[in-house]
Amino acid sequence: MRLREHDVVATVRRLQLRELRSWVRAGWIKPARGDGGPFFDELDIARIRLICDLRKEMSLSADTVPTILSLLDQLHGLRHQLHRLAEAVNQQPEETRIAVLKAYRRLEGRD
């Protein structure tokens, strides 16, 4: 899905065009650029809905939103790294996987 600005505003009814443009200028949303201007994908729409929730439902200030978005981006990145680490561990021989699991449980205090 690739939506233009007006399509995004029609899709996310709580959103006004000036808000969308302001959020793009602020770097909160980073749409793809095309000949006809910005294009928004499904992830952009989800982020826009989140920002609407933060600003409109939770009444968070514009100064707070970048911090929350940064923390969520970091969390997403860490989840991705953890997933790759789990895949790498799963590719190891069984005895290595068992040793890793035991070491993890020891660190968690679950001997």
Q: What is the pLDDT of residues 93-107, one digit of tens each?
A: 999 999 999 999 999
For the structural domain made of 1-62, what CATH number should be given? 1.10.1660
- Which pLDDT does position 11 carry in this prediction? 95
Q: What is the pLDDT of residues 15-72, one digit of tens each?
A: 999 999 999 999 999 999 988 889 999 999 999 999 999 999 999 999 999 999 999 9
CB-based contacts of 95, cutoff 8 Å, min separation 6 = none
Q: For residue 100, give the amino acid letter.
A: V
Q: Is the dihedral of CA 92, 93, 96, 98 positive or negative?
A: positive
Q: Is residue 68 a contact partner of residue 53, using CB atoms and an 8 Å limit?
A: no
8-state DSSP, 99: H
Q: For residue 3, give the amino acid letter.
A: L
Segment 7-12 shows an average pLDDT of: 96
